[in-house]
Amino acid sequence: MNKLNINQNVVESCRKYAKIIANDVQSFIDQHTTVSVERATLRLLGVDGTDEFQVPLPNRIVDDIVKNGNISLGVSTYLASALKGSGLNLSDFLNAYKNEEVNVCGHEILDKDATFNILNPYYDSSLKRILANKAQRTDFLTKYSREKTDIYVIVATGNIDEDVIQAVSAAEAGADIIAVIRSTGQSLLDYVPYGKTTEGFGGTFATQENFKIMRKALDEVSFKLGRYIYLVNYASGLCMPEIAAMGALERLDVLLNDSMYGIIFRDINMQRTFVDQYFSRLINAYAGIIINTGEDNYLTTSDAVEEAHTVTASQFINEAFAKKAHLPSKLMGLGHAFEIDPEVEDSFLLELSQAQLAREIFPDAPLKYMPPTKHINGNIFRAYQQNVMFNMVTTITGQSIHLLGMMTEAIHTPYLSDRYLAIKNAKMIQKSMKSLGDEISYKPEGIIQKRAVEVLNSAEKLLKQIAEDGMFNSLAKGVFAQTKRSEIGGKGLSGVFRKNKNYVNVVLEKMEESFNED
């Protein structure tokens, strides 16, 4: 498929530069760990629950090691040494630890082989559970076929019980994917709230219990409808690897997991983010979870005509980082958005070109296409028109994950009726234009083809410049979303540590080993 007549040599050049960029950052990643990586490791070893002050045990243990031990050796080493030194199994040790009857530090430090031997039952249990979830998802998808394009709807009440009601209603109306929006600001919390929550703001807290509750509800409606309904949440922010671990344990299907979103839009330190995104994506690859990247956000702060090439460049970079974490193309839900001002002449053709470009460059990726938001002005009739055009481009270019636009965007959190109308709008376009993309070709040297060539060439130049300057320096210059970030600024830098030569992470190593065996 090459309707745009793009130069494949330029595409390969972009991938070459993106690989250089990712390799350079990976050398930093391989030498460092973070508190969130270590907490995620504890979660995947079976450490769960809170102490009497509602502090999550993974946080308390890691903070204890940072203060009283040497975190650069890894929590695996300390936990194994504490289990050996105390003579307790993990469950008994955690109960005693909560009551301050035992310590995680102060024991004889074990070597790597002993650490793996002692922790084997715990990581083996979690990894088997994740693989069983992956197999169960595969069974569902084999039993229940899916459309070419999945309709993606969000719920965001703040109350997980209310979310369930809205999610089931959306699925019954035709939605294929339900995303539970997180409570405002959760990405900046350096811990994961515990248990069921009913009082979020602008969304519902991402907790393992909430994941479990929504998964159960969506499984029930999936059986009822004969369609497997995907569950989405957000593996971004300061707890990126922990959310991925929780998602893998509770069979989430999609996680928003961009390699740079937190840096650019949440001012999370870039060192922290790059290390965290690797482990989180490795977990997702192991669990068969689709990632979604956040390139659509670039166009909320930048002009969608002038800065379209930054979206394409970022897609190449996200692909390169995903490959480093062993994610196959079928799990790379690279993002983009329908955000050109509709008052721009031929804006529909420019949007069509951009969407087709993404589809042709990444033919096997489940692309996530975002609706118009920036130029939605409160006029619900105009918003409905814009969403029709968005739905048309989605269908014509064969986008995979179609996040629905709402006519009440910029007015209020959508009602059930708003979502119902959005689903019916998208379904009508999908049906009435189902084969249009296969029937049409684009005028040689016309507006659509010329635009695609222009965007791709500009993306290549940007990627070349980033490869020369390095990713850290480029982000400091504000190459994406016109936002400058410092390598030593932002939130979470204090949680980054250089690995000791004797560092051990039993979960990370076992996951990497499984891919190397393949």
Active site residues: 261, 296, 368
DSSP string, 275-298: HHHHHHHHHHHHHTPEEE--GGGH
CA–CA separation, 131 vs 283, rounded Å?
11
CA–CA separation, 461 vs 458, rounded Å?
5
Type of residue numbered 488: I
In total, the chain counts a number of residues equal to 518
Burial (CB < 10 A; 0-12, 13-18, 19+), residue 378, is: exposed
Q: How is residue 344 written in tokens? A: 């721009």
- The H or E element spanning position 154 is strand 150-155
Q: For residue 259, what are the CA distances in angstroms to 241, 320, 322?
A: 12, 10, 9
Q: How is residue 469 written in tokens? A: 């300057």
Task: Find, among 302, 262, 309, the residue nearest to 465 by Cα.
Answer: 309
SS3 content of the chain, % helix, strand, coil (to 5): 55, 10, 35
In contact, 227 and 146? CB cutoff 8 Å: yes
DSSP state of 180: E
CA–CA separation, 282 vs 208, rounded Å?
19
Q: How is residue 237 written in tokens? A: 């922010």
In contact, 381 and 350? CB cutoff 8 Å: no
Burial (CB < 10 A; 0-12, 13-18, 19+), residue 53, is: exposed
Beta strands, E only, 230-370: 230-234, 254-256, 290-292, 332-333, 335-337, 368-370
CA–CA separation, 362 vs 284, rounded Å?
19
